[in-house]
């Protein structure tokens, strides 16, 4: 029986479309689908390149939602304006001011259809006839873009009923995220409007930390939850589509060396196919050689990101500007001197403080407030430095610094840590080099 033809790039690797080797995970996909109709806001979170967007696109039809790509310069007003535009409103800045002195927005529906209940009965008809018709006027509504009540009123006015997806929510300034967490409670209580928030962080209850009233009103879905079995299914699904067979030892080693990163697994399978001229579905089963080297392919995939990771270290170390304490440089010290196992689990506040105090010029006299402030500003610094995707994130509820880019962990394991420390002017451990920090 002839097999359907598929291109390798549609099966493995990263592309704009959902890979056709997509595998549903009961504990992830089902959780999203089960809760999407419960009138609760959904948060899809996880490390970068771990399938958050694919999960959303797989589970939701394009007709189910409107999409807003969040930007790192938006305040709450700009976010509300973007939501209204995505929902189908025409938005202009009004001459009217809010009580805070900010300009209101003039909002009307596109296309001249009825909005906000405005319609006028007038006489009309052809010659010799008389009758009534309704003339629909698109009356603009002036609203305070920072007021969630006005946002809800506008969306109700145009009869909006779709989901609203906020992609890259983590790029928003922290103040905007916090303000929106309070707006979500208002939206939940005054409407049926549902938001789906997609963000790179490892903290399940980030928005609840910002606003405790959201407890019970939001559901979090962890897209990072890739087990070895899940990744095995991804590889096997691709094998079936391309009529190929990877060696069992290769698959096992790839899953281990990828640190359960679906991105790394996908890219390595793609590279293996290209290496052996597998560009589309084979007419006959193609078996890869038994010596196919998973470790080498993983190293190639991660090496492609080496310049980005080196740039992250130097840019992060520079902080927001030159300061006496150089806290952001020193935040890198525990990161660059920890094992991959420690970084995978996340570094606690106590671990970070102890290691920094042991080497920082001020030692135990270092003000804990300065350390806390620097940790809480980790996302803001990366956004300012245009570091995309984020590499680090700080969980304020559990006081834990996490690496949210698994590729960085794999890259770090292969680096000479002493050289990295010297690169940013940090002290080195006695004799510390590459081998001491391997996985």
Q: Is there a single domain that holds both residue 293 and residue 346?
A: no
> 137-151, 210-224, 244-258 — which one is most confidently predicted on average?
244-258
> Which of 77-86, 103-112, 154-163, 185-194 has the lowest average pLDDT?
103-112
- Domain boundary, last residue among 222, 253, 277: 222
Q: Is there a single domain that holds both residue 339 and residue 248?
A: no
Number of domains composing the chain? 3
Q: Is there a single domain that holds both residue 414 and residue 393?
A: yes
Residue 19 lies in a domain: no
Residue 374 preceded by cis peptide, ω within 30: no
Q: Is there a single domain that holds both residue 215 and residue 287?
A: no
Higher pLDDT, 105 or 410: 410
Q: Is there a single domain that holds both residue 287 and residue 415?
A: no
Q: Is there a single domain that holds both residue 277 and residue 413?
A: no
Count the Cβ atoms, other than its own, within 10 Å of residue 427: 13
Which two structure tokens, joined as six digits, stand for 362? 């001020």
Nearest one of 30, 31, 35, 28 to 217, comparing CA atoms:
35
Run of H or E including 97 = strand 89-97
Q: Is there a single domain that holds both residue 136 and residue 194?
A: yes
The predicted model scores a pTM of: 0.85
Contact between 383 and 316 (Cβ < 8 Å) = no
What local confidence, expressed as pLDDT, does residue 139 receive?
Answer: 62
Q: Is there a single domain that holds both residue 180 and residue 37?
A: yes
Residue 287 lies in a domain: yes
What local confidence, expressed as pLDDT, does residue 430 receive?
Answer: 59
Q: Is there a single domain that holds both residue 237 and residue 182?
A: no
What local confidence, expressed as pLDDT, does residue 98 receive?
Answer: 63
pLDDT in tens, 347-399: 999 999 999 999 999 998 899 999 999 999 999 999 999 999 999 999 988 89
% of the chain residues with pLDDT over 90 = 73
Written as one string, the DSSP assignment of 138-200 is: ---EEE-TT-HHHHHHHHHHTT--SEEEEETGGGS-HHHHHHHHHHHHHHHHH----EEEEEE
**Average of pLDDT values for 113-133?**
42
The CATH number assigned to the domain holding 52 equals: 3.40.50.300
- Domain boundary, last residue among 222, 238, 272: 222
Count the Cβ atoms, other than its own, within 10 Å of residue 53: 17
What local confidence, expressed as pLDDT, does residue 2 receive?
Answer: 58
What local confidence, expressed as pLDDT, does residue 122 receive?
Answer: 34
Mean pLDDT of the chain: 88
Contact between 426 and 332 (Cβ < 8 Å) = yes
pLDDT in tens, 177-223: 999 999 999 999 999 999 999 999 988 888 998 999 999 899 999 99
Residue 395 lies in a domain: yes
- Domain boundary, last residue among 172, 194, 222: 222
Contact between 182 and 152 (Cβ < 8 Å) = no
Nearest one of 92, 95, 81 to 138, comparing CA atoms:
92
Q: Is there a single domain that holds both residue 317 and residue 425?
A: yes
Q: Is there a single domain that holds both residue 292 and residue 367?
A: no
Q: Is there a single domain that holds both residue 196 and residue 270?
A: no
Domain interval for residue 41: 26-125+132-222
């Amino acid at each position: 029986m002839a097999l359907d033809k598929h291109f390798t790039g549609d099966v493995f690797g990263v592309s704009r479309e959902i890979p056709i080797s997509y595998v549903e995970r009961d504990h992830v996909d089902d959780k999203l689908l089960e809760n999407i109709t419960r009138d609760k806001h959904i948060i899809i979170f996880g490390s970068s390149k771990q399938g958050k967007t694919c999960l959303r696109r797989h589970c939701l039809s394009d007709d189910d939602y409107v999409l807003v790509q969040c930007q790192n310069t938006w305040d709450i007003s700009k976010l509300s304006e973007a939501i209204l535009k995505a929902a189908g409103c025409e938005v202009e800045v009004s001459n009217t001011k809010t009580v805070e002195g900010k300009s209101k927005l003039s909002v009307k529906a596109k296309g001249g259809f009825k909005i906000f209940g405005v319609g006028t009965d007038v006489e009309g008809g052809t010659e010799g006839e008389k009758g009534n018709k309704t003339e629909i006027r698109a009356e603009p509504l002036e609203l305070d873009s920072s007021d969630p009540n006005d946002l809800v009123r506008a969306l109700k006015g145009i009869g909006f009923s779709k989901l609203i997806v906020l992609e890259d929510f983590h790029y928003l300034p922290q103040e905007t995220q916090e303000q929106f967490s309070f707006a979500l409670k208002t939206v939940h209580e005054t409407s049926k409007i549902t938001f789906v928030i997609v963000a790179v962080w490892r903290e399940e209850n980030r928005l609840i930390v910002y606003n405790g009233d959201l407890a019970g009103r939001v559901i979090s879905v962890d897209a990072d939850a890739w087990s070895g079995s899940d990744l095995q299914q991804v590889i096997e699904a691709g094998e079936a589509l391309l009529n190929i067979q990877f060696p069992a030892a290769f698959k096992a080693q790839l899953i281990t060396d990828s640190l359960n990163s679906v991105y790394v697994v996908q890219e390595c399978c793609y590279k293996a196919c290209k290496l052996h001229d597998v560009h589309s579905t084979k007419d006959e089963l193609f078996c890869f050689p038994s010596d196919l080297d998973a470790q080498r392919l993983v190293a190639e995939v991660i090496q492609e990101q080496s310049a980005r990771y080196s740039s992250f270290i130097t840019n992060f170390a520079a902080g927001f500007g030159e300061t006496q304490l150089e806290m952001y440089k020193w935040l890198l010290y525990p990161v660059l001197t920890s094992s991959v196992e420690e970084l995978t689990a996340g570094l606690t506040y106590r671990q970070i403080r102890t290691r920094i105090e042991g080497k920082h010029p001020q030692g135990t006299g270092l003000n804990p407030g300065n350390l806390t402030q620097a940790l809480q500003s980790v996302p803001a610094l990366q956004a300012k430095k245009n570091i995309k995707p984020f590499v680090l994130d700080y969980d304020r509820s559990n006081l834990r610094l996490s690496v949210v880019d698994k590729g960085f962990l794999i890259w770090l394991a292969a680096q000479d840590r002493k050289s990295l420390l010297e690169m940013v002017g940090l002290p080195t451990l006695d004799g510390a080099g590459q081998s001491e920090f391997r996985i």
